[in-house]
């Protein structure tokens, strides 16, 4: 997805902007550009990587204020011309923009009828011309920006500079994140804290509808109606080191390998040995209120949704409250019935996924009580929710989610334990779950030690045109996540089905060409799962079994044996071999593991 960086201060802006853009590369993009202000605007923009842009920036590209952008094409193909920044015809205003201007065609037609000549196919260029029209007449750039934004329908995070006002940058947000970074006599802004942490840990998140004016000596923020707003800076506890590969070949492998620590951080300080309950102060609910819910509805997108399915199962089992998960992208469009005695839980690693944010806003509009399970502190979804749990997993850079997935499942185990213990879950059962949770980091280390074996298996199966993933009940979301990981980073087609559903249709696909990865935990469904393996083998299908015991060679060609935890918590551990399997399959196939084609790290557009 697109990225924005802005700087104003005493230093040379271009190196700071380029560094910031590099930090945003992980989000996915196709072109990049920068503008600096120094007796007029100097612009460079290219189709390609930030390194290509850096090579195109001449030594004389000086200026102590500027904005930069990485573009992910929506209106018009990736090209030098369509790359941001976009300038007004007189070259006075430059704009970078994330999001989509929905009425761009209509505005463009009006501007063209007035004689404005466009140089790109983008929706963003409309903004540059609209701002330029009033910039000369208004007292301030912010007024000109505000006037232009009044005419715009759609989502945006923008940064704007005006050659006529060389000491300030104006940024605004509506549906697409903008974070301000506060430095020593310098100010930064970006669409993601990743671009800021090298320079400052003091940040301010803009709310939808807000606009900010940045000068070297500080910032002012305004609501949409021009009223000044008061903002408290937040301290980010992520530093630049979190964004390095740390000696690993890929961020993805680094993030998979970090899971013993990230899971431990999600648990830290939250388990109570006296009452065998989870302490979750961020829920902002007392015990009476916590008891009052009769249902739990979980929403999230993609892998976040699959981790929500694990969460629903945990809540039903431990708290005996009916719970289910649904894609947030679907939920908000089906006119959901919002009930006062339902607890809604939104999941997001980035905290910025537009579909999830919009679903939370819809719930809030209808009076729903929404908790957030979010990784990014201070993100839009976290701010919108009534309470929740932070994952504390550290920034996830690789596009495919791994450590956030397991930490989310762990957060759900904590929530389920908490909901269970204020209801009918006995202290003994609570103790059993607490002990299981404590064992997770060590057991994850044991699974990571299986990497050489899993790598070999990934090489063996990576050449298959298609793979089936199956699991029953607790194993089904694990299978879905396994298929998701494989398809998104290796581009091998993968389907996930409940094992129980195979013979109702997809068994027709099974044969030597389509191997199956079967999630077979040692639980009450073991025999049923083994029967399914027999059915697959009888059709000539190859089977890789992921479970707690070595496979009978009549039922599976290969197996990965993971340590056993409590039955309810086993899905968390069973996911990890599938992450390693997908990673090594993708590497074997020569894929761009951290930045798979067509995907972006946080999907801030609809």
Q: Looking at 2, 301, 385, 434, which residue is catalytic?
A: 2
Q: Give the nearer residue to ligand F6R in terms of CB position, either 76 or 378.
A: 378
Identity of the residue, 67 or 357, whose beta carbon is nearer to ligand F6R in the bound complex: 357
For 55, 320, 381, 416, 571, the CA distances from 565, given in Å and listed in that order, are 53, 20, 32, 16, 9
Distance of CA 392 to the CA centre of its chain: 14
- Per DSSP, helices labelled H in 1-138 are 13-23, 50-56, 104-113, 124-135
Cβ at position 233, least distance to ligand F6R in Å? 24
Q: Which two tokens stand for residue 574?
A: 């069973």
CB nearest ligand F6R: which residue?
302
Query: Closer CB to ligand F6R, residue 88 or residue 604?
Result: 604
Judge whether 2 counts as a catalytic residue: yes
Write out the H or E segment, with its range, that includes residue 576.
helix 570-588
Q: Which is nearer to ligand F6R, 395 or 541 (CB)?
A: 395
| Exposed e or buried b per residue across 68-103, where buried means at least 16 C-beta atoms within 10 angstroms of its C-beta | bbbbbbbbbeebeebbbbbbbbeebbbbbbbbbbee
Measured distance CA(271)–CA(282) in Å, rounded:
14
Q: Which is nearer to ligand F6R, 301 or 519 (CB)?
A: 301
Q: How far is the CB of 169 from ligand F6R (least distance, A)?
A: 27
**Total residue count of the chain as it appears in this document:** 606
Instruction: Give the pairing type, strands 65-71 and 86-87.
Output: unpaired
- Nearest approach in angstroms of CB 322 to ligand F6R is 24
The answer to whether 388 touches 554, Cβ cutoff 8 Å, is: no
Cβ closer to ligand F6R: 133 or 584? 584
Q: Cα–chain-centroid distance for residue 304?
A: 9
| CA 532, chain centre distance (Å) | 35
Q: Which is nearer to ligand F6R, 484 or 529 (CB)?
A: 484
Least gap, CB of 100 to ligand F6R (angstroms):
17
Q: Least separation, in Å, of the C-beta of 164 and ligand F6R? A: 39
Q: Please state the closest distance from residue 591 (CB atom) to ligand F6R, in A.
A: 14
| Least gap, CB of 601 to ligand F6R (angstroms) | 7
Task: Give the binding site for ligand F6R (CB under 6 A).
Answer: 301-304, 348-350, 353, 356, 400-401, 484, 488, 602-603
Cα separation, 543 vs 530, in Å, equals 11
Q: Which is nearer to ligand F6R, 63 or 571 (CB)?
A: 571
Q: If we measure between CA atoms, which residue out of 403, 534, 416, 521 comes closest to residue 472?
A: 521
Q: Which of 440, 400, 402 is nearest to 265 (CA)?
A: 440
Residue 345 contacts residue 331 (beta carbons within 8 Å): no
CA distance 155 to 102: 8
Three state DSSP letters for 465-534: CEEEEEECCCHHHHHHHHHHHHHHHHCCEEEEEEHHHHHHCHHHHCECCECEEEEECCCCCHHHHHHHHH
Here the tokens at position 466 are: 């298609």
Spot the catalytic one: 254, 297, 595, 601. 601
Per-residue tokens: 168? 């300030």
Q: Which two tokens stand for residue 44?
A: 């460079």
Query: Quick check: is 445 catalytic?
Result: no
**Closest CB 478 distance from ligand F6R, rounded Å:** 14
Least distance to ligand F6R, CB of residue 371, Å: 15
Nearer to ligand F6R (CB atom), residue 13 or residue 494: 494
- Helix, strand, coil in percent for the chain, rounding step 5: 40, 25, 40
Give the catalytic positions in this structure.
Answer: 2, 601
């Amino acid at each position: 997805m697109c990225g924005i960086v802005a700087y104003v201060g005493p230093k040379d802006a271009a190196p700071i902007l380029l560094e910031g853009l590099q930090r945003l590369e992980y989000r996915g993009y196709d072109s990049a550009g920068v503008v600096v202000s120094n007796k007029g605007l100097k612009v460079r923009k290219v189709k390609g990587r930030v390194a290509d842009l850096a090579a195109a920036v001449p030594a004389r590209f000086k200026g102590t204020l500027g904005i930069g952008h990485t573009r992910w094409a929506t209106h018009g193909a990736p090209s030098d011309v369509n790359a941001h920044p976009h300038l007004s015809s007189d070259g006075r205003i430059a704009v970078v923009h994330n999001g989509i201007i929905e009425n761009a065609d209509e505005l463009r037609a009006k501007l063209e009828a007035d004689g404005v000549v466009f140089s790109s196919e983008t929706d963003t260029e409309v903004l540059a011309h609209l701002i330029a029209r009033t910039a000369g007449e208004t007292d301030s750039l912010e007024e000109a920006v505000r006037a232009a934004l009044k005419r715009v329908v759609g989502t945006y995070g923008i940064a704007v500079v005006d050659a006529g006002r060389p000491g300030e940058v104006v940024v605004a947000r509506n549906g697409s994140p903008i974070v301000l970074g506060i430095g020593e006599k310098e100010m930064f802004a970006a669409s993601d804290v990743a671009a800021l942490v090298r320079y400052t840990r003091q940040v301010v998140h803009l709310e939808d509808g807000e606009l900010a004016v940045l000068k070297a000596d500080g910032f002012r923020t305004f609501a949409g109606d021009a009223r000044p707003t008061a903002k408290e800076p937040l301290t980010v506890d992520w530093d630049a080191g979190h964004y390095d590969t740390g000696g690993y070949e890929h961020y993805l492998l680094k993030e998979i390998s970090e899971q013993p620590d990230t899971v431990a951080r999600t648990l830290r300080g939250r388990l109570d040995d006296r009452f065998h309950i989870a302490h979750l102060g961020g829920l902002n609910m007392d015990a009476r209120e916590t008891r009052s819910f009769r249902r739990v509805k979980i929403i999230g997108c993609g892998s976040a949704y699959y981790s929500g399915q694990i969460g629903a199962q945990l809540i039903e089992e431990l708290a005996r409250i009916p719970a289910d998960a649904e894609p947030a992208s679907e939920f908000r469009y089906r006119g959901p019935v919002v009930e006062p005695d339902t607890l809604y839980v939104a999941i997001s690693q980035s905290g910025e996924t537009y579909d999830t944010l919009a679903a939370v806003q819809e719930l809030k509009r209808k009076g729903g009580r929404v908790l957030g399970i979010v990784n990014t502190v201070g993100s839009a979804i976290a701010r919108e929710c009534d309470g929740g749990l932070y994952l504390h997993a550290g920034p996830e850079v690789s596009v495919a989610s791994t450590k956030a997935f397991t930490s989310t499942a762990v957060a759900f185990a904590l929530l389920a334990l908490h909901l269970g213990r204020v209801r009918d879950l006995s202290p003994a059962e609570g103790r059993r779950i607490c002990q299981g949770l404590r064992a997770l980091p060590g057991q994850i280390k044991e699974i990571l030690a299986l990497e050489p074996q899993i790598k070999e298996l990934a090489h063996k199966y990576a050449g298959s045109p298609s793979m089936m993933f199956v699991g029953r009940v607790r194993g089904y979301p694990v299978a879905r996540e396994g298929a998701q990981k494989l398809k998104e980073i290796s581009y091998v087609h993968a389907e996930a089905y409940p094992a129980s559903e195979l013979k109702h249709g997809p068994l027709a696909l099974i044969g030597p060409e389509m191997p199956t990865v079967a999630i077979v935990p040692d639980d009450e469904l073991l025999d049923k799962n083994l029967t399914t393996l027999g059915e697959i083998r009888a059709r000539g299908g190859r089977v890789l079994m992921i479970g707690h015991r070595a496979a009978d060679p009549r039922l599976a060609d290969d197996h990965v044996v993971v340590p056993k935890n409590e039955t309810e918590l086993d899905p968390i551990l069973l996911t990890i071999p599938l992450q390693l399997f997908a990673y090594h399959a993708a590497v074997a196939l020569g894929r761009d593991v951290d930045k798979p084609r067509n995907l972006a790290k946080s999907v801030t557009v609809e």
